[in-house]
Amino acid sequence: MRLKDARMSVGLTQEAVAKAMDISRTAVAMWETGQVNPTADKLPQLAKLYECTIDELFIPEDKNHDETGLQR
């Protein structure tokens, strides 16, 4: 699951995530672009916000499907 997809699936903005987690919106953007990863201490709160497990945050994208979920 991509972090951006997880955030959007629960209808949150980057700003809302940043405020809820007491971090900058830039940090959220950097997580979503893969420039940096969330620190371990942020993962439980992030998973709770995104209504998923920590493991689900790191499931790689299926290489047999495009970004719309359609099979290639």
Distance CA 55, CA 66 (A): 21
Q: What share of the chain is helix, strand, coil (3-state, %, to 5)?
A: 55, 5, 45
Candidates 56, 44, 49; CA nearest to 8 is 49
| E strands present in the chain | none
In a domain, 29, yes or no: yes
**Using one digit for the tens of pLDDT, what is the confidence trace for 34-68?**
999 999 999 999 999 999 999 988 887 665 444 54
In a domain, 68, yes or no: no
Domains in the chain, number: 1
Domain that holds residue 24: 3-53
In a domain, 38, yes or no: yes
What pLDDT score was predicted for residue 63? 52
In a domain, 64, yes or no: no
In a domain, 37, yes or no: yes
In a domain, 24, yes or no: yes
On whether the CB atoms of residues 7 and 14 are closer than 8 A, the answer is: yes
**Using one digit for the tens of pLDDT, what is the confidence trace for 13-29?**
999 999 999 999 999 99
Residue 30 has pLDDT above 60, yes or no: yes
CATH of the domain at 19: 1.10.260.40
Helix (H, G, I), strand (E, B) or coil at 71: strand
